Chain A
Amino acid sequence: MKTELPWHSKFDLLGVTFILFILGSFSSLLAIEGSGRDLDYIGNLLRFTGQFFPPDWSIIDRTVEGLLETVQIALVSTLLAIIISIILSICAAGTIAPFWLLWPTRMLLNMIRTIPSLLWALLAVVIVGSNPLAGVIALTFYSVGYLAKFFSETFEAANTDAQKALRSLGASPLQAFQFGLWPNARPIIWSHCLWMLEYNVRSASIIGYVGAGGIGLHLKLYAESADSWNKFSLVLLCILFIVTILDLTGEKIRKSIRDKLDGKPSGT
């Protein structure tokens, strides 16, 4: 016997949000309008992008220097953010922290996430001046907003069986956390850290635009001076190169972590 599901059974939470999304997107189309002038879109595009080629390789030394600074800013800020986030994430994890600590911490993280990285950079430049330190401060704050949230979700989702078992075998709460819960959460946390590092290299490339150090300053200079789009394009190429390398290595490391957790033998 075949039983038909009622017609409305398709409208679960997933279905309804998808329909709302489609409806919302189409109704938003009305708000998007051009300048109204009769412009040669394709011609404009070709003329402008034409100026990007060929990239000007004469500035490669300076660019590599700027990139190095960018990566350094990303590395330092990610490290600082990881340290701060581990502490904050324990305060924001529903399974660990008490209620009175949980919600203030989560609110704080929400506020941090509301501010975009460029705005953090502006704030930092105002406070410590136009230098790489400003970049480090900006990206640290920005990353904490995300990392602490990811970490606390990881702690909440991690398997707590081993933690409980160790408690029953005589371990103190801190020891049970270190040897029971932390090993289960650590691989996921490390993979979030790698993602954040990648992300920070990208962000560090742009915050120089407002003076917070790194390759962004070069981008700004070339964009603002006449006939420098071919230098601009070289900088973009170099950023693309770095980001691709990070992306590929990050993915490889993350995959090996996933495999190991799923019980596939390591070293493959």
Chain B
Amino acid sequence: MTLPLLSTEELGLRVEKRTLLKNLSISLNQGTFVAVTGPSGSGKTTLLRTLAGALTPAEGKVISNLDSNKSLAMIFQDLQLADGATAINNVLGGSLGRHSFLSTMFRFPAKERKEAYHLLAKFKLSGKTNQWTSTLSRGERQRVAACRTLLTKPHLLFADEPVSSLDPILAEEVLSHLKSSILSRNGCLVCSLHNDEQVAQFADIAIILDATEPNGWKLESLKENIK
């Protein structure tokens, strides 16, 4: 049996004095799509950021079985794009971890550029590659941020509401691209979502958080073949 990519033991989360979550023990296994749902303020973002290692847990621990932290990446809720850079250059930012400063100083390697164009086209942004991200709509910026993170080629991807500004049809397409590119690498995708239909359609497991009761979280298996 293969080890989970990441697991938690008795994880507890606190923001300032407020306890959001208690005693969460889960495993993030290869080949699964995990949805995190719950009302606003229930701690979805805090949970994702803690799992991604950006925050330290208040209680319990996060155990990572990843080879190096390069195979973990996050799509941020507030996107965090460089406004004065073109869409393509923002996406190429995802490849920086694979190259030295000098090799990307003037131009990105042709292979990376090709891949970045390919990703943007997949996300229906091929007409906007050379536009400054400040001139793109929120939905377009959201897809640029997704492309940037995908270019890091993560095995474990945390996506914080990656489709919140997209219409349902586009949202579905983006989610299925995210899912197929992570699962083709036999990785794991953890995605916070607000839409129950999307959860039912894509997720294998759902972590449902409760805004009032830290112990009130539920783990729901949505697909028969997943434990």
Given known contacts A170-B70, A179-B89, A164 and B80 CB-to-CB distance under 8 angstroms: yes
Select B93's contact among A179, A185, A265, beta carbons within 8 Å.
A179
Contacts of A183 in B (CB 8 A): 82-85, 89
Closest to B152 in A: A169
Contacts of A261 in B (CB 8 A): 83-84, 132, 134
Contacts of A166 in B (CB 8 A): 93, 96
Quick check: B74 and A162 within 8 Å, CB to CB?
no
Given known contacts A260-B132, A262-B134, A165 and B80 CB-to-CB distance under 8 angstroms: yes
- Count residues of chain A with CB under 8 A from any CB of chain B: 31
Quick check: B96 and A175 within 8 Å, CB to CB?
yes
Quick check: B85 and A179 within 8 Å, CB to CB?
yes
183-231 of chain A: CB within 8 A of chain B:
183-187
Select A263's contact among B80, B105, B135, beta carbons within 8 Å.
B135
Q: Mark B90-110, 1 if CB is under 8 A from A, else 0.
A: 101110111011001100000
Q: Mark B125-137, 1 if CB is under 8 A from A, else 0.
A: 0000001101110
A170 to B149, CA, bound (A): 10
Contacts of B73 in A (CB 8 A): 168-169
Closest to B83 in A: A184
Given known contacts A169-B149, A178-B105, A161 and B80 CB-to-CB distance under 8 angstroms: yes
Quick check: A162 and B81 within 8 Å, CB to CB?
yes
Given known contacts A162-B81, A168-B54, A179-B96, A266 and B101 CB-to-CB distance under 8 angstroms: no
Quick check: A175 and B104 within 8 Å, CB to CB?
yes
Is A249 at the interface (CB under 8 A from chain B)? Answer: no
Select B135's contact among A163, A179, A185, A264, beta carbons within 8 Å.
A264
Quick check: A265 and B152 within 8 Å, CB to CB?
no
Quick check: A169 and B96 within 8 Å, CB to CB?
yes
Select B101's contact among A161, A168, A174, beta carbons within 8 Å.
A174
Closest to A166 in B: B93
- Count residues of chain B with CB under 8 A from any CB of chain A: 32
Closest to A165 in B: B80
Quick check: B135 and A260 within 8 Å, CB to CB?
yes
Is A110 at the interface (CB under 8 A from chain B)? Answer: no
238-268 of chain A: CB within 8 A of chain B:
260-266
A179 to B112, CA, bound (A): 15
Least distance between B180 CB and chain A CB atoms (Å) = 21
Contacts of B152 in A (CB 8 A): 169-170
Contacts of A186 in B (CB 8 A): 84
Residue from A163, A184, A186, A262 with most neighbouring chain B CB atoms (10 Å): A184
A83 to B44, CA, bound (A): 46
A165 to B70, CA, bound (A): 13
Closest to B69 in A: A170
A260 to B96, CA, bound (A): 26
A159 to B104, CA, bound (A): 22
Given known contacts A161-B78, A260-B134, A169 and B97 CB-to-CB distance under 8 angstroms: yes
Is B155 at the interface (CB under 8 A from chain A)? Answer: no
Contacts of A181 in B (CB 8 A): 82
Is A172 at the interface (CB under 8 A from chain B)? Answer: yes
Contacts of A145 in B (CB 8 A): none
Contacts of B76 in A (CB 8 A): 165
Quick check: A170 and B97 within 8 Å, CB to CB?
yes
A163 to B73, CA, bound (A): 15
Is A84 at the interface (CB under 8 A from chain B)? Answer: no
Contacts of B148 in A (CB 8 A): 169
Quick check: A179 and B70 within 8 Å, CB to CB?
no
Quick check: B135 and A162 within 8 Å, CB to CB?
no
Is A171 at the interface (CB under 8 A from chain B)? Answer: yes
Please name 25 pairs of A and B residues whose Cβ atoms are closer than 8 Å in the assembled complex, sorted by A: A162-B80, A162-B81, A162-B85, A162-B90, A166-B96, A168-B54, A169-B97, A169-B148, A169-B149, A171-B97, A172-B96, A175-B101, A175-B104, A178-B104, A179-B96, A179-B104, A180-B82, A181-B82, A184-B82, A185-B84, A260-B135, A263-B135, A264-B135, A266-B132, A266-B135
- B interface, CB within 8 angstroms of A: 54, 70, 73-74, 76, 78, 80-85, 89-90, 92-94, 96-98, 100-101, 104-105, 131-132, 134-136, 148-149, 152
- A interface, CB within 8 angstroms of B: 159, 161-166, 168-172, 174-176, 178-181, 183-187, 260-266
Further pairs besides A169-B96, A183-B83: 7, Cβ < 8 Å: A162-B81, A170-B98, A179-B85, A183-B82, A261-B83, A264-B135, A266-B131
Closest 9 pairs between A and B when the two form their complex, measured CB to CB:
A170-B97, A183-B85, A165-B80, A171-B96, A162-B82, A161-B80, A183-B84, A183-B82, A175-B96
